[in-house]
Structure 1
Amino acid sequence: MQTAANQGRWGAEAAGIATLVLVIVAMDQIIWRPLLAWAEKFKVELVEAPPPHSVVLVFLRRLTILDRLTADWSRLLETVDHWALTVGRATRHPRWTATWGVVRWLVIVGVTIAAYDAVNTAAHLLAQLHRSDLIRVGLATLATLGRVLAALAISVLWTVPVGVWIGLNRNWSARLTPLTQIAASVPATALFPGLVALLLHLRGGLNTAAILLMVLGTQWYLLFNVIAGASAIPEDLKEATRLFRLGRRKTWTVLILPAISPYLTTGLITAAGGAWNASIVAEYVSFQGHVYTTFGVGAFIAESSLGNHEGLLLLSTVTLALTVVLINRLVWRRLYRRAQERYRLG
């Protein structure tokens, strides 16, 4: 699809998007919707709620051939278990133990040699860089971090109210969730080239456009997690808020926000990773023979990979990876633990 967009073949790109949509719709109807309907029987609630319906699941339950396939599958699993038990007993023989010991040591030696060679190569590449390169990469990482935070903030502003509304309304959830899955199935990178031509006219140029492009790569993680969190609120708790006649604001502060906090935190963690990944294509865009860039570590990675600057590529990639790991450990992990401990249902 991106090749079609670069060549201006919008009909081919539309055909590619339509194919993706058809695949997602087919998977939803044939796989996911039957699984959701089947999984409802394991849900325990004090207040009865209408279960989801799946025509495919009803059809499969009426097929007698599935009973025979299930019986054949059970016999196959028993055969595999018996074979695994026999092999396990044989491998405890002293001869097998000695052989596996030699293989294990050969693997350890091979991995050690490969790691030593990789470290030497990395040290050689980094030694060719100047101090100014370190400063530039550090500042570029901060610039990208700012865009990531801005993209997360924009995504949260619309996904939380919309996701809660969809998750709390079962009828609308059944209608809109497949539509959101279809929209999310379209790769954001396939839309980047065409959107760049429109977004470059915004104030701030690609610096602003990159944030909006990151939103395309992050918003769906948040939306689906918020929908899942709102859908997981037990019916008896929602019934209790109606019995106590809590207002809308009180319902949000007492029930909804605490209930979706673990899911929202999970969505933020995943969306942040998606935003960092999207920065590589959002900060460096090639469209119809023109290259558009903005200052950021994602642009550094893209430029250095295309320009064969291996040292700068290594430094930029390692810096980005370390930044993500540090933020996960110092920020997201603590937020997730706090949300799980304070707002866990059950």
Structure 2
Amino acid sequence: MSEASITSGITEDSRSLSLRLKNLGNYLTVRVVPALVVIGILVAIWQITCSRPDSNLPSATTVFEETRYLIENPFYDNGGTDVGMGWQLLASLKRVAIGYTLAVIAGVALGILVGQSVWAMRGLDPLFQVLRTVPPLAWLPLSLAGFQDSQPSALFVIFITSIWPIIINTSVGVRNIPADYRNVARVVRLNGWQYFYKIMLPAAAPYIFSGLRIGIGLSWLAIIAAEMLVGGVGIGFFIWDAWNSSRISDIILALIYVGLVGYALDRLVSLAGYFVTRGTGQ
């Protein structure tokens, strides 16, 4: 290899590295820095307003001091429900994973049915519109009466809460498949299965993932509220137990974790949708 080619390769690598660093700097400037500035301002306001002697809420520094053990030991286990925040979150995430997965399977299937069939839309859509307005916790007493167990009841609440946006968005996506796509499918004589995975799913995917993003957020909201009532290990019951014990700092820390996990779940579904739709629907 000649010296000129080596020099050219080094120069090209340097340019590539410089471009990557520039893109990283732009990302940090546009996305990260503004968020950190806003968070810093909010924390400062929180610290100032809650440091007064007559404040009913702890300041930011007080919360950190009182919850330091929980932050540094997220996976301690003293038996029963006395476990770290990591175990609490994992227990809630496990319930969400099961209930949400069932909602995705049933929701996409029903959405395709409603989107494909005019009769199904006329018969089921009014029912869906009525049921989706029922608050999540309103289903809990009924599910407890039916299952006679707190765990399947919590899963049912997640399922029934998150399924509606999945059904509605999927059906809208299927109904909005361009007529040209359907005509092409007829011309090339695609059978039902080929039409499903070559035409229908790719065309409706942006709508489906919009429903999935709404659904995962509703799932996380529902399990937090349900766990406050059904008990057991879970971040929702942790918050309720902390309230009963007047551990306000623990509640604030749990709320921060709940928000971060909810944001992570939304980003995860959004990222999956971006790769599946190649960015056309996100």
Aligned counterpart in structure 2 of residue 145 of structure 1, from 93, 115, 139: 93
2:133 to 162, 185, 188: 185
Q: Structure 1: how far apart are the matches of 2:155 and 2:161?
A: 10
Q: 2:256 aligns with which of 311, 318, 325?
A: 318
Determine the C-alpha separation between the residues in 1 that align with 2:180 and 2:118.
15
Aligned-residue sequence identity (percent) comes to 22
Distance 1:171 1:234, change over 3 A: farther
Q: Counterparts of 1:328 and 1:183 in 2: how far apart (Å)?
A: 24
Residue identity matched to 1:337: Y
Matches within 5 A, 1:30-49: none
The separation in 2 between residues aligned to 1:180 and 1:265, in whole angstroms, is 19
* Alignment counterpart, residue 117 of structure 1, candidates 48, 53, 73: 48
What does 1:249-260 correspond to in 2, within 5 Å? 249-260=193-204
The match for 1:53 is: none
Q: Scaled by the length of structure 1, what TM-score is found?
A: 0.59
The CA deviation string for residues 259-306 of structure 1, in whole angstroms up to 9 with x for no partner, is 221122111111111111111222132xxxxxx312111221233234
Match of 1:212 in 2: 156
Q: Is contact 1:213-1:282 (8 Å) kept?
A: yes
Distance 1:309 1:114, change over 3 A: same
- 1:327 alignment partner in structure 2: 265
Contact 1:210 1:282 in 2 (8 A): yes
Deviations 1:69-123 (A, max 9, x none): xxxxxxxxxxxxxxxxxxxxxxxxxxxxxxxxxxxxxxxxx97863442686022
* CA-to-aligned-CA distance 1:211-253 (integer Å, 9 cap, x gap): 1221111111211111111111122322332332212211111
Q: Is the 8 A contact 1:122 1:314 kept in 2?
A: no
Whole-Å separation in 1 of the counterparts to 2:245 and 2:118 = 52
State the distance in 2 between where 1:142 and 1:273 align: 16
Residues 273 and 324 of structure 1 are in contact (CA less than 8 Å); yes or no, is this contact kept in structure 2?
Answer: yes
Alignment of 1:58-97 (within 5 A): none
Aligned partners of 1:281 and 1:302 also within 8 Å? no
1:9-55 deviations in whole A, cap 9, x for unaligned?
Answer: xxxxxxxxxxxxxxxxxxxxxxxxxxxxxxxxxxxxxxxxxxxxxxx
Partner residue, 1:273: 217
Q: Which residue of 1 aligns with 2:64?
A: 126
Shift of 1:171: 4.2
Relative to the length of structure 2, the TM-score reads 0.71
Residue 255 of structure 1 deviates from its aligned partner by 1.0
For 2:256 and 2:109, the matched residues in 1 are separated by 36
Segment drifting more, 140-149 vs 123-132: 123-132
Count, aligned residues:
224
Q: 1:112 to 1:208 in 2, by over 3 A?
A: closer
Question: What residue in structure 1 maps to residue 246 of structure 2?
Answer: 308
Give the gaps of 5 or more residues in structure 1: 1-109, 286-291
Contact persistence 1:217–1:278 (CA under 8 A): yes
**Correspondence for 1:155 among 86, 97, 103:** 103
2:176 counterpart residue number: 232
From the CA coordinates, give the structure whose radius of gyration is larger.
1
